[in-house]
Chain A
Amino acid sequence: MGLFYRKEQKGNPAPPEVTPSTPTVLTDGTLTRIRDTITWARESVKNRVSFDVSIRTEEVCDAVEALLLRENDLRSGEEAYIVSQTVLDYLPNALMPYFGLPRETAETKFLSNGKTAEHVLCEQLDVLKNQIEKILDRLIQEDEAELIANAKFLTDRFEREAFELPSEDTFGIEISQTATLWENMGITRVETRPMLKRRRNTQTLHPGDEKR
């Protein structure tokens, strides 16, 4: 890839400076650098590269951002290292050489491997996206397992120990159908008007009262 790398070319700002490291946990500092690099990648491809490159770069960025929402669930160690390396190292090193090429050359000139630079970059971006999505898939599987376990717990608990109180509406509908049965059994409700609910110091005016 170094073949295409032209650091000084105008219009291609360098990615955020990265200190090579192999973090075993995603520290706040590392997370900030990852977010900065994602922002840089999105801005760098905007209106400057082919649709194929643009969409793949966006997909890598989307996958990383989805993963960052679950940063607390990322396993420290290998997965943290993969995320960090993918964004801070592999992604800039894939994009920067491409940016150094005239767009027409990148899209039309065949390299020794029979592929255009654009084609090579797209393959690299697909690999990076798949790498990130593998981690996402692992987290989703864990979510599903947790969801199923929780559902089982709730089912076991409530089916074994408790009845659920039907809603007021359910009560109303069911009971009203049996209200006549209860009346036939000699049981009826008596209207009560609790003192606490009564309006005080009010008078009912009847037609003509105001004339008296």
Chain B
Amino acid sequence: MSTVITKGGNFNITRYDNTMNNLTVALGWADTTKGKDQPLSIDSSIILLGSNEKVLSDDHFSLLSALNVQKNVTAYSKNSYRTKDRDAVNLDLTVIPNNIQKILFVVTIFDAISRGENFSHTTDVYIRIVNPKTNVEVVRYNMNEPESTATSMIIGELYKYNLDWKFRAVGQGYFSGIAGVAKDFGLKIQKK
């Protein structure tokens, strides 16, 4: 049975199942702007941090949509269409380099300022971790109260704690979009 944690809470994945070397992290949300000319567009991104809580390099930031697609079929990937998941990423914990200590999952409203949109236009924003082999949900964080005027949100993070991998429900909003997140973690997104 899945564990539901609240903002700030954490969950030890390794203790839950120390044989689970692969994780699928899935993100979802519902758009409350239906009927508008332009439906809400949200980008999911992932940032890899080193031990100093800073991004290792500009290459350690990516949109989920820009990653290569997982090649092997899993129970999750076969059934993902049955879920409300919008984006999902697979992590092979045995391959992730040792210098990566934390993995941030960020959702950002595209073109938020010019469209005048923020997370008050969303509902049911969540992040969940699934065992890809069994398609069983391990842990979930439902962001019940999104910060209404935030345009970017660190929704959750995976981090190393001694030899364990843990998951924390973050839910930290940024009003300056991905730029604010980038600034906090030392990412030098190129200026136009």
Binding site for B on A (CB under 8 A): 158-159, 161-166, 168, 170-172, 175-176, 178-196, 198
Contact = CB atoms under 8 A, between A and B. Distances in A.
A189 B70 contact: yes
A13 B81 CA distance: 82
B90 A165 contact: no
A190 B189 contact: no
10 contacts: A163-B182, A164-B189, A168-B110, A172-B66, A178-B59, A186-B93, A187-B67, A187-B96, A190-B76, A192-B85
B177 A165 contact: yes
A191 B77 contact: yes
Nearest to B130: A190
Given A178-B59, A185-B100, A192-B26, 16 more contacts: A162-B176, A163-B178, A163-B188, A164-B191, A165-B189, A183-B68, A188-B70, A188-B89, A190-B74, A190-B76, A190-B80, A190-B90, A192-B88, A194-B28, A195-B84, A198-B81
A192 B83 contact: yes
Contacts of A193: 80-81
B163 to A, nearest CB: 17
Contacts, number: 123
B92 interface: yes
Contact of A185 (B24, B70, B96): B96
B26 to A, nearest CB: 7
Contacts of B191: 158-159, 163-164
B91 interface: yes
Nearest to A171: B63
Contacts of A179: 62, 66-68
B133 interface: no
Contacts of A184: 95
A53 B134 CA distance: 92
A190 B24 contact: yes
Contacts of A196: 30, 84
B83 to A, nearest CB: 7
Interface string B57-73: 00100111111111100
Nearest to B111: A165
